[in-house]
Structure 1
Amino acid sequence: MTNQELQALVEKISRESFHQPFCHQASFNSRLKTTGGRYHLSSHDLDFNQLVYEKYGEPELIRVIKHELCHYHLHITGRGYQHKDREFKQLLKLVGGSRFTPPLSTSLYQVYRCQTCQQEIKRRRKINTARYVCGSCQGRLKFLKTIEM
């Protein structure tokens, strides 16, 4: 999806769900890592994380767009636009926007197996198998693989 297609989608959702026009810029921002989107208070522009579209598809992107448009329309009209405000929560529920972005990043885990008791051990950081042993039986550990979780 290009920025022009995103702009058209945001304008369409704003008209259909909020019955108000979206008169500013919407674009993908590759610097967003943990959040689905962002509303700029000063310029009223919207940024979106392209990973939401790539990983979860258009239905989840539409929910994130509705979330950011709630911030946009409430702030423009001078009402409570923050996550803690009742008006924001009510409008978000009414239009069907997402409250939280689904997980965007994955963690890598190192998998080890005890050579004595065959227990699998998953660690985020690599460990020195010559120095560390199994916590259950003090057997030697062997590196198996790296997995994503």
Structure 2
Amino acid sequence: MMEREARRTPPELQELTEQLSLRWFGRPFIHEAVYNPRLRTTGGRYMLRDHSIQVNPAVEMMYGEEELIGVLKHELCHYHLHLEGRGYKHGDSDFRELLRKTGSPRFCKPLQAEQQRTVRHYRCADCGRQYERRRRVDTSRYRCGKCRGKLQEVQ
């Protein structure tokens, strides 16, 4: 996947969010929409305390404007339902219905940082059981869960 440069400035992101809110939800977005480069595994998030929407800039750089609009519409579903006092969580029927009505995606496309995680392989020296872990395991502290044997990292 070829990365693109971010096309929008923060004021343009705010304006796009306000336009999408009026067009798809018929209500104004009166809070703040910002880029948050610290987001790693998600395309965006709605903040309950200050009602702001944070967007991962990697979404627009990797997938373009269409995916950015999808993320914003998804977060606007959370926003409007929360302000109305209706079910705004992913499992709530109000939320799922509003996603369907507005054509908003339930999930964003996977971000490259999440796809390229390394997997470490460990094997028990006694019983031979194999383990896969994303984080490094301290083999001097941890043992096999089956036989309590010593773990060895497999290269």
Residue of structure 2 in register with 1:12 after alignment: 19
Residue of structure 2 in register with 1:30 after alignment: 37
Mapped partners of 2:42, 2:106: distance in 1: 12
Residue of structure 2 in register with 1:136 after alignment: none
Q: 1:9 offset after TM fit, Å?
A: 0.2
Q: 1:35 offset after TM fit, Å?
A: 0.2
Mapped partners of 1:4, 1:97: distance in 2: 23
CA-to-partner distance for each residue in 1:65-117, whole Å, 9 max, x for gaps?
000000000000000000000000000011011101111024177xxxxxxxx
SS of 2:61's equivalent? helix
CA-to-partner distance for each residue in 1:14-60, whole Å, 9 max, x for gaps?
00000000000000000001000010101000000011100000011
Equivalent position to 2:62, from 44, 55, 62: 55
Q: If the length of structure 1 is used for normalisation, what is the TM-score?
A: 0.71
Percent sequence identity is 52
Say whether residues 1:89 and 2:96 are aligned partners.
yes
SS of 1:27's equivalent? strand
SS of 2:71's equivalent? helix
In our comparison, the structure showing a higher alpha carbon Rg is 1
Stretches of structure 2 lacking an aligned partner (at least 5 in a row): 1-7, 119-133, 135-155
Equivalent position to 2:107, from 54, 77, 100: 100
Q: If the length of structure 2 is used for normalisation, what is the TM-score?
A: 0.69
Residue of structure 2 in register with 1:134 after alignment: none
Residue of structure 2 in register with 1:44 after alignment: 51
Stretches of structure 1 lacking an aligned partner (at least 5 in a row): 110-123, 125-149
Mapped partners of 1:91, 1:62: distance in 2: 15
How many residues of Structure 1 are paired with residues of Structure 2 in the alignment?
Answer: 110
Equivalent position to 1:79, from 76, 86, 92: 86
CA-to-partner distance for each residue in 1:121-145, whole Å, 9 max, x for gaps?
xxx9xxxxxxxxxxxxxxxxxxxxx
